[in-house]
Chains A and B, each alone.
Chain A
Amino acid sequence: MNGLEQFKDRNVSQNYYRVKIEPYPKTPWERFKRVVRRSLRLELFVGLKITLMEMLRFKIHTIQYPKEKLPISPRYRAVHKLLRLLESGNERCIGCGLCEKICISNCIRIDTRPDENGRKIPTEYTINFGRCIFCGYCAEVCPELAIVHGQDYEHASEQRAQFALKEDMLTPLDKLKEQKEYPGFGAPTPAADKLIKKTPLAY
């Protein structure tokens, strides 16, 4: 089976085999006997031997986390980023409030007001990561591709409610060059150009 076919097969038990399990000890005496048996057989060192040999041969398969990190898929949904427009450096978020509305954990809040040019701006944007379930709806609904999922999945915290403010998520102006277009959830598909109908112009 290849491709999607394998997922369509719902008979999950096909490749299973039974593990032989010896009967559980019933009396305290039997339990004691099992402990003595297992201790004296030094099974622990059988495992340790393998580890030791692999170590001496320098055939290490583990990733040296946190020094090393695996590359993750662009569609991975980790801690959010707020993007800027590449040309002007302006914030992309227009404060439409759709992310706030769609968020099923109700963990986004934004404050908006008109700026000095009369345009709508989000003065503050927060996500409560203690509640976020990283569903990706916010990134998907955003019409401006302003709120996106980043690749940074480390956000252990001492507090249950861990808030990210706008400045934590927004691309810093000096890092604008490094900002990548987001290909993940909610981004236009590669064929999007073909699907767009142009509005006729009178001039």
Chain B
Amino acid sequence: MVKFYIDGKEVVANRGETILQVARREGIYIPTMCYLSKVKPIESCRLCVVEVEGVEGFVLSCQTPATPDARITTDSKELYEHRQNIMKLYDVNHPLECGVCDKSGECDLQNKNLEFRVDSQEFSARDQYRPIQDWNYLQYDPSLCILCEKCVHVCNEVIGDDAIEIEYGGYKSRIIPKDAETLDCTWCGECVAVCPVGAFISKDFKYSANAWELDRIPAACAHCSASCHLYYETKHSSIENPEPKIYRVKNEFEFETLCGAGRFGFDFENREAKKDEEAFKRAIEAFKRADTIKFTSFITNEEALLLQKMKERFGYRLVNDEARAYQRFLENFSQYSGKSLYTPSLYDIEDSDFIILMGSFISSDNPAVRYAMTVSQKRHRSEIVNFHPVEDDLLKPVVTKFVKHEVGSEEAALSMLVDILCDEDAKKRAGKEWLESFDIGYLSAESNIGEEEIEDILKRLKMKKRRGAKRFTLILGEDLYTHPRAENLAKLAGLVDRFSEFDVMLIPPKTNTLGVALICDLDEEEGEFSIGYNQKGDFTLSALGDGDLDMPALNQQEGTFTNIDRRVVPTNVALPYEGYVLNDIAKELGVSDKEYTIEYTKELPKEKGYKEIEFDELDNEFLNDGTEKRGYELEIKKVNLSRKNIEPIEELPEFNGTVIYRCEPVLQFSPFTNKAHQLRTKGKLYASETFLNDLGLKEGDKVNIQKDNITISIEVERDGFIASGAYLGRFDKNIDTESLFKDYRFTEVKIQKV
């Protein structure tokens, strides 16, 4: 804690806080052009200068921590002139095209020119030919670029793609793809978000609307369990069509980060839906007949509660395999960790010094976790170990140690971790059978994880601890929840959480898996007649517009999600919806007596950690210092520990022949992302170079994938982001991936070229 004064106001800095950070937190304005809260100070603009009493010259407030009792002035005649001169330099050769520029109205250069009253150009420099670059979803105009470097830093320090860099050359300087002819990255669009001028723009949005015309609707991203905060920006579709349309998605880029699916996959609404009374009647009939409701986790907490209420009333079986697997995993985990939920949040990952990731293809499973890991690595050089059978090249800049193991040997890997991370107590707790079955030689041979690799991890861990590491996180993913030995894996994870300094995070696989797992009593088996909600059933309710009764998509609904941070976050209606909603059905069935679905927000189960707060009372914003004020965090309850011993490690399963993985390509999560016009694509078999070579295939080939009596004909595409293996996604609803992968995310198949 350092006490000092800014413009006479007494302020207090926390450890390591810079003058600028304190000023922003306190609401004191210091102009900046290159400062971006979520990356290290870039120091390219020098606009943030301040005067410190007794110090010669100006001081850069963005990188200088305060000294006790310093007296700081943020504005004076000299400072004004200094800043004005900087702005004059920025304007040299800057095209006078505010009239058409996408950034106009929210442009930092425009604003600061106005602030420092620069209305003429006194210097000149020879203009250079710097043509506009067209990069897939993005477009870059070097003549508008002020070379603040925010885009480069965010790509490197937060995203981890490290795809762009500055090519220096005086007035010729510009941003170029790093070590490549053209840009090939994960298209998060974060460079567009942080660009203070109109240099980096989204090609789809280009020239379609002006900043001031758009309505901003704060919402939560509906695609993955990070449920990132975002704004849908809407306007009438065109002169002929006054219906609102989403033009783009923006985010609070100073503090949080979106992936490309969130940014570009926004128009997945159920457009044509109307109140079809006939269909509604049929739906009610179907509900009266049905004994099962099958659904996915792309629903709100309130809808989940409605389903649960229906179950309580009519005894439906609620079937949601993915959430059920997660629910069971969480339950088993709780019984051995003693907590009802996992503890780490994305912020904790950012702060972690040592991270172990297992069972997740993180760049597409949950980009927010990937970004948090990147931040931890770049900010304080954390150690990141990734256990996975598929080598993800996207993680190369971030992961410090990659351990490739055999498909199916997660139990061996986690056991080996328990062995090195936990003390004797934990092993005693695991029980004699488990200890006896723990034969490191066998496990190492079968899983292909060398003993020396485990020793190396231990060495790195000790090194980190010696350097004062404080936070350790073990992140587990969907591979484990779907694993045949999931129960034991969950228990082992519980032990790690309880007996080691590692906190365990269990990534919820889909948007609201955590919410569904907490709110609904899920069943294993389907009955005779099923209602499908966003799933194929005997009667299908669908927000994709392809079912028997339309439902609103998640950008047409208000409600809450329970996200990966265990936070209940609100989302709002961006687009109108005219059809029926689940609450209408519940009302008709006599289950619901409320007019609006959000009236259930305060009724979410308290015993699971939810709070009795009205939807309209939920916060949804970030404070000046980056504090996230969205909804509330679930309370973690104490859970009675199980006394049962952990089962001995089973013989590791063998996967022979051709094995493929189930995951989505980057930018896809579900049929909803695939409905968005910018992301729409046909599902393929995505294969690494090595996989293609092994099978004698090349890009564009048609193949038949065979398993048991299921055959899928599909085209092959090379995925340059993976170094081994191949995968199929579920985002293309025309491809029946589901039946190939019964539960575990890897499966043996036969692949034949046709």
Contact B124 A111 (CB under 8 A): no
Q: Does A143 contact B (CB under 8 A)?
A: yes
Report the separation of the CA atoms of residues A143 and B99 in the bound assembly, to the nearest whole angstrom. Answer: 8
Residue of B nearest to A96 (CB): B99
Report the separation of the CA atoms of residues A79 and B267 in the bound assembly, to the nearest whole angstrom. Answer: 39
One of B126, B132, B207, B213 near A101 (C-beta < 8 A): B213
Chain B residues closer than 8 Å to A197, beta-carbon distance: 120
Residue of A nearest to B242 (CB): A109
Q: Does A34 contact B (CB under 8 A)?
A: no
Q: Does B611 contact A (CB under 8 A)?
A: no
Contact B121 A113 (CB under 8 A): no
Contact B239 A109 (CB under 8 A): yes
Contact B207 A202 (CB under 8 A): no
Report the separation of the CA atoms of residues A126 and B238 in the bound assembly, to the nearest whole angstrom. Answer: 11
Contact B239 A113 (CB under 8 A): no
Q: Does A201 contact B (CB under 8 A)?
A: yes
Contact B210 A101 (CB under 8 A): yes
Chain B residues closer than 8 Å to A200, beta-carbon distance: 121-124
Report the separation of the CA atoms of residues A101 and B124 in the bound assembly, to the nearest whole angstrom. Answer: 34
Contact A202 B126 (CB under 8 A): yes
Q: Does B627 contact A (CB under 8 A)?
A: no
* Contact digits for A131-175, partner B, Cβ 8 Å, 1 yes 0 no: 000000000000110000000000000000000000000000000
Chain B residues closer than 8 Å to A96, beta-carbon distance: 98-100, 104, 210
Q: Does A203 contact B (CB under 8 A)?
A: yes
Residue of B nearest to A101 (CB): B212
Contact A100 B213 (CB under 8 A): yes
A90–chain B nearest beta-carbon distance, Å? 14
Stretch touching chain B among A5-13, A14-22, A117-125: A117-125
Q: Does B754 contact A (CB under 8 A)?
A: no
The residues in B between 202 and 225 inclusive whose CB is less than 8 angstroms from any CB of A are 206-210, 212-213
Contact B239 A94 (CB under 8 A): no
Report the separation of the CA atoms of residues A101 and B213 in the bound assembly, to the nearest whole angstrom. Answer: 8
Q: Does B55 contact A (CB under 8 A)?
A: no
Q: Does B125 contact A (CB under 8 A)?
A: yes
Given A101-B213, A112-B208, A126-B239, A120 contacting B100 (CB threshold 8 A):
yes
Report the separation of the CA atoms of residues A126 and B213 in the bound assembly, to the nearest whole angstrom. Answer: 16
B110–chain A nearest beta-carbon distance, Å? 13
Report the separation of the CA atoms of residues A201 and B120 in the bound assembly, to the nearest whole angstrom. Answer: 13
Report the separation of the CA atoms of residues A96 and B124 in the bound assembly, to the nearest whole angstrom. Answer: 27
One of A95, A114, A124 near B239 (C-beta < 8 A): A124
Q: Does A97 contact B (CB under 8 A)?
A: yes
Contact A201 B124 (CB under 8 A): yes
B161–chain A nearest beta-carbon distance, Å? 26
Report the separation of the CA atoms of residues A118 and B98 in the bound assembly, to the nearest whole angstrom. Answer: 15
A132–chain B nearest beta-carbon distance, Å? 16
Report the separation of the CA atoms of residues A157 and B237 in the bound assembly, to the nearest whole angstrom. Answer: 27
Interface size on A, residues (CB 8 A): 26
Chain B residues closer than 8 Å to A101, beta-carbon distance: 210, 212-213
Contact B121 A202 (CB under 8 A): no
Q: Does A2 contact B (CB under 8 A)?
A: no
The residues in B between 404 and 422 inclusive whose CB is less than 8 angstroms from any CB of A are none
Contact A119 B99 (CB under 8 A): no
Contact B207 A97 (CB under 8 A): no
The residues in B between 179 and 233 inclusive whose CB is less than 8 angstroms from any CB of A are 206-210, 212-213
The residues in A between 169 and 203 inclusive whose CB is less than 8 angstroms from any CB of B are 197, 199-203
One of B104, B121, B207 near A114 (C-beta < 8 A): B207
Chain A residues closer than 8 Å to B206, beta-carbon distance: 114
Residue of B nearest to A98 (CB): B99
Residue of B nearest to A144 (CB): B99
Chain B residues closer than 8 Å to A199, beta-carbon distance: 120-121, 124
Chain A residues closer than 8 Å to B238, beta-carbon distance: 111, 124
Report the separation of the CA atoms of residues A110 and B236 in the bound assembly, to the nearest whole angstrom. Answer: 11
Report the separation of the CA atoms of residues A118 and B134 in the bound assembly, to the nearest whole angstrom. Answer: 11
Contact A97 B208 (CB under 8 A): no
Report the separation of the CA atoms of residues A203 and B132 in the bound assembly, to the nearest whole angstrom. Answer: 23
Contact A94 B100 (CB under 8 A): yes
A43–chain B nearest beta-carbon distance, Å? 57
Residue of A nearest to B98 (CB): A96
B574–chain A nearest beta-carbon distance, Å? 21
Contact B124 A112 (CB under 8 A): no
Report the separation of the CA atoms of residues A118 and B100 in the bound assembly, to the nearest whole angstrom. Answer: 11
B93–chain A nearest beta-carbon distance, Å? 9
Given A95-B207, A109-B239, A113-B207, A119 contacting B100 (CB threshold 8 A):
yes
A106–chain B nearest beta-carbon distance, Å? 11
Contact A95 B126 (CB under 8 A): no
Contact A118 B208 (CB under 8 A): no
Chain A residues closer than 8 Å to B209, beta-carbon distance: 112
* Contact digits for A73-104, partner B, Cβ 8 Å, 1 yes 0 no: 00000000000000000000011111011000
Chain A residues closer than 8 Å to B100, beta-carbon distance: 94-96, 119-120
Q: Which of A95, A101, A119, A120 has most B Cβ within 10 Å?
A: A120
Report the separation of the CA atoms of residues A69 and B599 in the bound assembly, to the nearest whole angstrom. Answer: 66
Report the separation of the CA atoms of residues A97 and B213 in the bound assembly, to the nearest whole angstrom. Answer: 9
Contact B124 A118 (CB under 8 A): no
Report the separation of the CA atoms of residues A108 and B98 in the bound assembly, to the nearest whole angstrom. Answer: 20
Chain B residues closer than 8 Å to A143, beta-carbon distance: 99
One of B125, B127, B208 near A113 (C-beta < 8 A): B208
Chain B residues closer than 8 Å to A144, beta-carbon distance: 99
Report the separation of the CA atoms of residues A100 and B209 in the bound assembly, to the nearest whole angstrom. Answer: 11
Report the separation of the CA atoms of residues A201 and B127 in the bound assembly, to the nearest whole angstrom. Answer: 9
Report the separation of the CA atoms of residues A202 and B209 in the bound assembly, to the nearest whole angstrom. Answer: 35
Q: Which of B104, B132, B210, B213 has most A Cβ within 10 Å?
A: B210
Chain A residues closer than 8 Å to B99, beta-carbon distance: 94, 96, 98, 143-144
Residue of B nearest to A119 (CB): B100
Given A95-B100, A101-B213, A111-B238, A120 contacting B123 (CB threshold 8 A):
no
Residue of B nearest to A166 (CB): B239
Report the separation of the CA atoms of residues A101 and B209 in the bound assembly, to the nearest whole angstrom. Answer: 12
Residue of B nearest to A199 (CB): B121
Report the separation of the CA atoms of residues A112 and B125 in the bound assembly, to the nearest whole angstrom. Answer: 33
Chain A residues closer than 8 Å to B123, beta-carbon distance: 200
Chain A residues closer than 8 Å to B239, beta-carbon distance: 109-111, 124, 126
B428–chain A nearest beta-carbon distance, Å? 69
Report the separation of the CA atoms of residues A94 and B104 in the bound assembly, to the nearest whole angstrom. Answer: 13
Chain B residues closer than 8 Å to A114, beta-carbon distance: 206-207
Report the separation of the CA atoms of residues A13 and B207 in the bound assembly, to the nearest whole angstrom. Answer: 57
One of A112, A126, A201 near B207 (C-beta < 8 A): A112
Residue of B nearest to A109 (CB): B239
Report the separation of the CA atoms of residues A202 and B124 in the bound assembly, to the nearest whole angstrom. Answer: 6
Report the separation of the CA atoms of residues A111 and B247 in the bound assembly, to the nearest whole angstrom. Answer: 13
Report the separation of the CA atoms of residues A203 and B171 in the bound assembly, to the nearest whole angstrom. Answer: 15
Chain B residues closer than 8 Å to A111, beta-carbon distance: 238-239
One of B125, B132, B213 near A202 (C-beta < 8 A): B125
The residues in B between 97 and 140 inclusive whose CB is less than 8 angstroms from any CB of A are 98-100, 104, 120-127, 132
Residue of A nearest to B125 (CB): A202
Residue of B nearest to A118 (CB): B132
A117–chain B nearest beta-carbon distance, Å? 11
Report the separation of the CA atoms of residues A6 and B213 in the bound assembly, to the nearest whole angstrom. Answer: 45
Report the separation of the CA atoms of residues A62 and B125 in the bound assembly, to the nearest whole angstrom. Answer: 64
* Contact digits for B318-361, partner A, Cβ 8 Å, 1 yes 0 no: 00000000000000000000000000000000000000000000
Given contacts A97-B212, A109-B236, A113-B207, 17 further A-B contacts (CB under 8 A): A94-B99, A95-B207, A96-B98, A96-B104, A97-B210, A97-B213, A100-B213, A111-B238, A112-B207, A114-B207, A120-B100, A120-B207, A124-B239, A144-B99, A200-B124, A202-B125, A202-B127
- Can you give 8 contacting A-B residue pairs, CB < 8 Å? A94-B99, A94-B100, A97-B210, A97-B213, A114-B206, A143-B99, A202-B127, A203-B126
Closest 6 CB pairs of A and B: A96-B99, A120-B100, A120-B207, A202-B126, A200-B124, A202-B124
